[in-house]
Amino acid sequence: MLQANKLCMRYDDTLAIKDLSFTVAPGEIFCLLGQNGAGKTTTINIFLGLITPTSGEALIDNHSTKDNKFAKNRIAYIPEIVQLYGNLSGLENLDFFSRLAGFIYSKEELNDFLLRANLQEDAHQKKLDTYSKGMRQKVGIAIALAKNASYILMDEPTSGLDPKASVEFAEICKELSANGVGILMATHDIFNAVNIGSKIGIMREGTLVHTTETAKISAQELQDLYIKTI
């Protein structure tokens, strides 16, 4: 599982994260809510190995994120805006990033990953410049599938998606969860957090102040709790 054990992150005189602890089990979707500056993205960057915590540790299947090779083989990352090559097709982007991760697939296998990510087949050969944000997210998910990632880290993945794309994204996340993929998602979207997540954490000033299971709270109750917290 993903484990944050008493993580602290200090930038000069600013404590961005303080004594942060939580776990994300295989198949679990843990949504982190909080205002800008609450520490959500910093937390994700620690798990990605992009920054080293001041103290505490982040573990991926009992391996420190400092073990970059192990971490990179276990996780995938979907940011708010998926960075892909606009002059390449969806299939070509998937092939390129799969090869970077050490996987070589046939055209049929690549098409299958894109279909599993719910990208319509007639878009597979079109250039990314013609894709909507939701379609780009699906290529990002296909890359995670091709990489055989055990965990996917997401930073504001539903920001800017239209309602139809948000529903499709939620369904893909639920399917990933059903297949044992653990997801850590930083988001401002309370409705999608309740709809997609299995657990929700609310962060304030670098601290996890509330954690609850989505089965035990409604969207309205979560909104009321969130407003009181921030």
DSSP 162-180: -HHHHHHHHHHHHHHHHTT
167: pLDDT confidence band, cut at 50, 70 and 90? confident
Helix (H, G, I), strand (E, B) or coil at 158: coil
- Which amino acid would we find at residue 158? T
Q: Is the pTM of this model over 0.75?
A: yes
**What pLDDT is recorded for position 14?**
86
Give residue for tokens 């679990």. 28
**What pLDDT is recorded for position 68?**
75
**What pLDDT is recorded for position 3?**
95
Q: Report the share of the chain in percent with pLDDT over 90.
A: 68
Asked which of 9-23, 35-49, 70-84, 168-182 is least confident by mean pLDDT, the reply is: 70-84
| Distance from the Cα of residue 184 to its chain's centroid | 5
* Mean pLDDT, the chain, whole residue set: 92
| Distance from the Cα of residue 115 to its chain's centroid | 20
Region 123-147: what's the mean pLDDT? 93
Region 194-208: what's the mean pLDDT? 93
Q: Quick check: 10 pLDDT over 80?
A: yes
Write out pLDDT tens, residues 51-63: 999 999 999 999 9
12: pLDDT confidence band, cut at 50, 70 and 90? confident
Q: Report the share of the chain in percent with pLDDT over 70.
A: 100
**What pLDDT is recorded for position 89?**
97
DSSP per residue, 97-112: HHHHTT----HHHHHH
Q: Quick check: 69 pLDDT over 90?
A: no
Domain 2-84+151-229 indexed as CATH 3.30.200.20: no
Q: Quick check: 106 pLDDT over 90?
A: yes
The Cα 225–Cα 155 span in angstroms is 22
Region 27-34: what's the mean pLDDT? 95
